Amino acid sequence: MARRDVAIVATAQRPNEVGSTLTSVELILPVINDVITKVGIERQKIGFWCHGSCDYMSGQPFSFVAAVDAIGAWPPIVESHVEGDGALALYEAWVKIQTGECDVALVFSNGKTTSGPIDRILNLQADPYMVTPLWPGFDSLAALQARACLDAGVLSEADMAEVAARSYRDALNNPIAYAKENVTAEQLLARPYTTAPLRAHDCGVPVDGANAIILAAGDAARGLAGRPAWIRGIDHRIDTQRLGARSMVESSSAAIAAANAGAGDDRIDIAELHAPYTHQEILLRRAMNLGEGTHVNPSGGALVSNPAMAAGLARFAEAAESVFSGSADRVLAHCTSGPMLQQNLVCVMEGD
Amino acid sequence: MFTAPLVVAYPYKRTVGTLLSRFFQSLQEGRLEGTKGSDGRVYFPPAEFDPVTGRQLDEWVTLAETGTVVTWAWQSVPQPDQPLERPFAWALITLDGADVPLLHAVDAGDMARIRTGSRVKVRWADERSGGIRDIACFDLLEGAS
């Protein structure tokens, strides 16, 4: 079966914030309405709705069912949910369109990260017998990975601070970014360790956020966007869940996913990498062979706003918008999931 | 707007299968047992299936109580339910005789006392119930790092 041409035709994101008291439905509803209004499509034309979120974060099983209130279930709709980042829901929607069952899909995600201790909550996703009973938290696990990289000479604490400083400065130009600061790497290095060898700036800032994206195939995409962001390649790979059996100093799953998505076939203008930790951005750049000519995370990335379960789809939104505006021709969007870059999804998009 | 705390918990039990049953029983009895893969690599905690061939692993290896820190991080403010209540190190530790490290805590007391390559030894929990917490934590071997 020939692969169908599929593009992102519209995106919507709400400003990232801390301490939101809105319900998940209230977080989602505005971005759903916003993204539909942007393309001016009738709701009945949306053949598939796909949602990414995490029940552990909501503190109740099947919490995602309530999200249907934000999209409306009458007339009947076809919908699905992924227990994970919205970018993984986008992958499911892309597959759905490939099957020919629909031409237009709406993908959305939400993360209320600040309503509980997110570092502890995400630990529930780890190995239930060997890791969860110790309650290490994702920051501590990332810190183990960072130390291994420092020991191996793969990167330095100054390299990590450069990533943070660039992200905080770039965020000054992003109205929906949460943390932003005109700061240098030297200033950041003078700040104390939180979970050594990580400092506060090495860890993505937990925030509350939501976003939505519309995908469309072929002529439908051309009718909905002036310059669609065509998906040229997309791939999702996973490293072993055994933390000790995984390389700490490279990301083989990210490298495979990037190669299969065609990242190396031509230059990449902009790469939006979902790196919740500074050293992980460096590992991802190496795994994907991203060179000096690629602007990494002009949005500020997940370091400045990390709405868990929505931060990956946010990368897709940011990358697609740069194609819509004409500021980039060939872009890469990435999503990670699990501790220490366990899962990696890579997508390459191009404008006409 | 006011918020009220909501703590949700789901206490339940589940069977752990033949491999983890043996592993947890050996921990309860104060032994450290790993499994050997087709490439000769010894896993601790044990691997149930060979990462190379997918075959079920059944060759058990008894390991020493000492090991080496492969990488570490400093938990300066311990959180609820973690292995230690005072600042400690998380570490990946390769037990002597094993090839693949496990995650656990090292009661180093001070960040300056631990480094990659530090030698450590198991501290058993006073009361053991069959689980990874039967290892209370690891202690630094004095003068050996």
* Tens-place pLDDT, residues B55-106: 999 999 999 999 999 999 999 999 999 999 999 999 999 999 999 999 999 9
- Out of A269-273, A316-320, B139-143, pick the least confident: B139-143
Give the pLDDT confidence of A303-332 residue by residue, as tens digits: 999 999 999 999 999 999 999 999 999 999
Q: Which of B8, B16, B73 sits opposite A60 (nearest CB)?
A: B8
Q: What is the nearest CA distance from B83 to chain A, expressed in angstroms?
A: 6
The CATH number covering residue B131 comes to 2.40.50.840
Distance from CA of A195 to the nearest CA of B (A): 5
Q: Hey, are the CB atoms on A135 and B71 less than 8 Å from each other?
A: no
Kindly report the pTM of this predicted structure. 0.95
Pick among A22, A112, A134 to test the B interface (most B CBs inside 10 A): A134
Determine, for residues A245 and B100 on separate chains, whether the beta-carbon distance falls below 8 Å.
Answer: yes
Go through the domains of chain A in sequence order and give each one's CATH number.
6-116+206-229 (3.40.47.10)
Over residues B25-44, the pLDDT tens digits come to 999 999 999 999 999 999 99
pLDDT at B145 over 70: no
* ipTM of this complex: 0.93
- Residue B6 with chain A: CB contacts under 8 Å: 59
Domain that holds residue B115: 17-140
Within a domain: B92: yes
List, for residues A228-260, the tens digit of each pLDDT value. Answer: 999 999 999 999 888 988 899 999 999 999 999
CA distance A295 to chain B (A): 31
**Number of separate domains in chain B:** 1
Chain A residues with at least one Cβ partner in B under 8 Å: 21, 59-60, 115, 117, 119-120, 129-131, 133-137, 140-141, 143-148, 151, 193-198, 240, 242-245, 248
Mean pLDDT of chain A: 96
Distance from CA of B75 to the nearest CA of A (A): 6
Cα dihedral sign, A282-B73-B111-B96: negative
